[in-house]
Structure 1
Amino acid sequence: MEIKEVNSVLKAPAPHMVGDGFRVHNFFPGGYKIDMNPFFLMDYGSKIDFSARKEPRGVGVHPHRGFETVTIAYHGAVAHHDSSGNSGVIYPGDVQWMTAGSGVLHKEYHEENYSLNGGPFQMVQLWVNLPAKNKMSKPDYQAIKQADMATFILPDHGGKIEIIAGNYQGTKGNANTFTSIELYNARLNKNGKAFFNFPEHYNTGFMVIEGKIKINHNQIAEVNSFVHFKNEGEKIEVEALENSIVLILSGEPINEPIVQYGPFLMNTEAEIHQAIEDYNQGRFGYLEE
């Protein structure tokens, strides 16, 4: 089995604010023109300290259609609500997997107690594309608490792999997905090693959340960098040079046209026009600011 070699190690692009609560580095599609399909977008909120505040920071009501948002928390806490009646809080280690499908209105803010106290904040949000046949599926929501997450303990005190979606060495993740997606948090102790096998044609990338790692015995990747792999070979070895957390993404590409307009991700211009009309006509439901 051949090694899946590194294509590039990408530094975090300049950050921008989403609302007043989320400072993010957009690795793709804006920061770098890399193919990570079915992952359409990755906003990485590198660690930042927010001051205490009575009125929570965040982003107000906004629509989504045609894809899923996956929010992964490392520090801080986010409260969220949508027009389908779902709400909850994403605490450190937790994952929120929201299927926008045919359309929802959504808002997310710093959780009240976190806002009152302030402190470190670090998260990732992914947009996962949906196949054409599933784009108008019923909105859904999966709350995956860290305490309930499927976990594989690595040998030799190497650490552990938290399987959010997919299957790592026979341990299956909690999330239900429309296409083949592997999404893990590798929490590695210093000198710990982990081995991964992904099909050649899967688009694969590693986000270094904490620490410093060595890949395939030769490539170094430091905190806040994204490792993009070639679509050749299948095997990857990771060694932690210090205690590290690495978000592992790999997925089978959806070979369909993509048309994006703001928070809508569809297959044709006509579908985008329909999404705008449906939103303007109030067909995404109602959500109070």
Structure 2
Amino acid sequence: METKQISKILKAPAPHMVGDDFRVHNFFPKGYKIDMNPFFLMDYGSKIEFSARKEPRGVGVHPHRGFETVTIAYHGAVAHHDSAGNSGVIYSGDVQWMTAASGILHKEYHEEAYSLAGGPFQMIQLWVNLPAKDKMSKPKYQAIKQADMASFNLPENGGKIEIIAGNYQNIQGNASTFTPIELYNARLNKGGKADFNFSANFNTGFIVIEGNIQINNTEIVSADNFIYFKNEGTEISIKALENSVVLILSGEPINEPITQYGPFLMNTEEEINEAISDYNQGKFGYLEE
């Protein structure tokens, strides 16, 4: 078995605000020109303290088409509503997987009780591209609570791997996906070790959410850094030098052209124009502000 070597270790880019509740570091596609396809975008909200507030901060009603948004909560709570009639709250450890596909409107706000109390906030949002044949499929919503999440306990009290999507040690993750995707939270105790095996051609990256880890018995990587791997080799090992949380991303690339315009992710300029027209004509449904 050949080790999958590190290509780059990337520091968090300067943050910017999305709405008034998400202070995020965009690792890709704007922060760094790396190929993480089928993951098109990763906004990382590093840990921040929000003060108490009566009016919840948030991102108002906006459209999406052609991809999925995956929101992973580490601290804080976010309430979601969309034009397909889905709603829910994700708390620490939970995941919200929204398939926009043919078109949806949604809004995201700090959950009311969390907003009134304030406190730490830390989350990640991924945009997962869809293949052309699935871009106009029906929108759907998967709410994955941490308590229900598939997991594998590591030996010697090393911690656990939460399997959001994909398969780890023959345990299948909760989320259904359109293309092969491996998405896990590795929650490691100090000294805990975990091994991973991904296809050589899969685009693979890890982000350290908390703690300090060693990769492949060589590089030491601390919190808020992204590890981008080469598309060769299959084996990766990590060891926690302190209690650590690591988000693991690996996926089979979708080898199709991508055209992006704001919240639309399609294959051609023509499809983007159609998305804009459909949105303006109200074909994405209705959602109250």
Secondary structure at the residue paired with 1:156? coil
Q: Residue in 2 aligned with 1:98? A: 98
Please tell me the residue identity of whatever aligns with 1:153: N
Number of aligned residues: 289
Q: Residue in 2 aligned with 1:266? A: 266
Moved over 6 A (4+): none
Q: Residue in 2 aligned with 1:145? A: 145
Please tell me the residue identity of whatever aligns with 1:212: N
Q: Distance in 2 between matches of 1:151 and 1:198?
A: 18
Q: Distance in 2 between matches of 1:99 and 1:281?
A: 21
Q: Distance in 1 between matches of 2:281 and 2:172?
A: 41
Superimposed CA distance per residue, residues 54-97 of structure 1 (whole angstroms, 9 cap, x where no aligned partner): 00001000000000000000000000100000000011000000
Q: Distance in 2 between matches of 1:259 and 1:221?
A: 34
Q: Distance in 2 between matches of 1:220 and 1:206?
A: 13
Q: Distance in 1 between matches of 2:232 and 2:214?
A: 19
Q: Distance in 2 between matches of 1:4 and 1:156?
A: 25
TM-score (norm 2): 1.00
Please tell me the residue identity of whatever aligns with 2:98: M
Which blocks of at least 5 consecutive residues in structure 1 are unaligned? Answer: none
Secondary structure at the residue paired with 1:278? helix
Superimposed CA distance per residue, residues 162-182 of structure 1 (whole angstroms, 9 cap, x where no aligned partner): 000000010110100000000
Give the superposed CA RMSD: 0.3
Q: Residue in 1 aligned with 2:127? A: 127
Equivalences for residues 196-275 of structure 1 within 5 A: 196-275=196-275
Secondary structure at the residue paired with 2:194? strand
Which blocks of at least 5 consecutive residues in structure 2 are unaligned? Answer: none
Q: Distance in 2 between matches of 1:221 and 1:97?
A: 28
Q: Residue in 2 aligned with 1:23? A: 23
Secondary structure at the residue paired with 1:102? coil
Q: Distance in 2 between matches of 1:278 and 1:93?
A: 35
Cα displacement (A) at 1:220: 1.1
Percent identity at matched positions?
80
Is 2:102 the partner of 1:109? Answer: no
Q: Distance in 1 between matches of 2:5 and 2:165?
A: 23
Q: Distance in 2 between matches of 1:13 and 1:169?
A: 34
Q: Residue in 2 aligned with 1:73? A: 73
Q: Distance in 2 between matches of 1:20 and 1:143?
A: 24
Is 2:82 the partner of 1:82? Answer: yes
Superimposed CA distance per residue, residues 92-116 of structure 1 (whole angstroms, 9 cap, x where no aligned partner): 0000000000000010000000000
Q: Distance in 2 between matches of 1:124 and 1:81?
A: 18
